């Protein structure tokens, strides 16, 4: 054993995570009855900018009022490059003793994790919170992949890291449009359908490799530069008006 001892993070099952948009509290009760190990209530991609504040209030109420059993409860905050992130952390951590973890999106450098750790530590000290918040980070960019080893050492709160592209996704909301042909789609509340899709990917290595390759190609279509060019083209087309 090394002379350098690493403090063990809180042990939790991370076999499955269920994402629930904070802007749709009608889904909270269904999620509470689902079989996932972790429920993450989303404040980031699944929530439109105009709905961010209300989604935060919905999550606070949901965490405090609903019975979530023994599930690990997590929130995905907004990116650190937005003005929403600090309020996500402060408001939810201060008001929700039931919260277990924070999911940090688009983590690029260890300082991203350090910044959230600093905020959470101050809140825990101020609120005299006994249960310590854990972290999961999403590695979603080339910057994050470049710094993945230092990110992994950035905080004692870090319990899990996720990266890659989805190969099984829900057929609801905008996911079919986002995933295209890069994922197997299934009904989100049909456990048998989800299990069958996962089993297919796990047992068919060529299919999994194909979906991963398509996923990376698909992700390249959603860069800020591409989105800006498409938005500009749309406005230019609207300004030109209908063809004569």
Structure tokens at 83: 């003005």
Beta strands in 49-187 (DSSP E): 72-76, 101-104, 134-139, 158-163, 168-170, 184-186
Binned at pLDDT 50, 70 and 90, residue 125 comes out as very high
Binned at pLDDT 50, 70 and 90, residue 153 comes out as very high
Q: Supply the pLDDT for residue 167.
A: 80
Q: Supply the pLDDT for residue 7.
A: 77
Nearest to 36 by CA among 15, 50, 5, 20: 15
Nearest to 10 by CA among 131, 118, 93, 105: 131
DSSP 135-161: EEEEE-SHHHHHTHHHHHTS-TTEEEE
Q: Supply the pLDDT for residue 113.
A: 97
Q: Tens digit of pLDDT for each residue in 109-120?
A: 999 999 999 999
Class of domain 17-240 (CATH, top level): alpha beta
Q: Tens digit of pLDDT for each residue in 156-182?
A: 999 999 887 668 888 888 888 888 898
Return the axis-axis angle of helices 191-203 and 205-219, rounded to nearest 10°: 100
Q: Tens digit of pLDDT for each residue in 10-38?
A: 888 888 888 999 999 999 999 999 888 99
Helix (H) and strand (E) counts in the chain: 10, 8
Q: Supply the pLDDT for residue 230.
A: 86
How far is residue 197 CA from its own chain's centroid? 21
Location of structure tokens 């590695």: 139
Lowest mean pLDDT among 4-18, 23-37, 80-94, 196-210: 4-18
Q: In terms of DSSP bridges, do strands 72-76 and 38-42 run parallel, antiparallel, or are they unpaired? A: parallel
């Amino acid at each position: 054993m090394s002379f350098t001892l690493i403090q063990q993070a809180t042990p939790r099952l991370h076999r499955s995570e269920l994402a629930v948009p904070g802007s749709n509290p009608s889904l909270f009760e269904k999620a509470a009855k689902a079989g996932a190990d972790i429920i993450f209530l989303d404040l980031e991609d699944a929530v439109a900018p105009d709905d961010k504040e209300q989604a935060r209030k919905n999550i606070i109420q949901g965490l405090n009022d609903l019975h979530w059993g023994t599930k690990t409860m997590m929130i995905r905050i907004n990116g650190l490059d937005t003005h929403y992130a600090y309020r996500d952390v402060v408001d939810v951590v201060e008001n929700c003793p039931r919260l277990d973890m924070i999911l940090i999106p688009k983590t690029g450098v260890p300082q991203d994790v350090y910044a959230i750790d600093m905020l959470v530590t101050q809140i825990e000290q101020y609120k005299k919170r006994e249960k310590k918040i854990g972290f999961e980070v999403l590695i979603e960019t080339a910057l994050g992949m470049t710094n993945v080893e230092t990110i992994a050492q950035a905080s004692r709160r870090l319990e899990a890291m996720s990266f890659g592209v989805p190969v099984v996704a829900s057929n609801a909301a905008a996911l079919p449009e986002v995933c295209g042909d890069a994922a197997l789609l299934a009904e989100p509340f049909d456990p048998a359908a989800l299990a069958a899709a996962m089993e297919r990917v796990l047992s068919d290595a060529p299919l999994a490799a194909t979906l991963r390759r398509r996923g990376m190609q698909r992700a390249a279509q959603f860069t800020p530069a591409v989105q800006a060019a498409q938005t500009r083209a749309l406005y230019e087309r609207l300004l030109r008006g209908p063809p004569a």
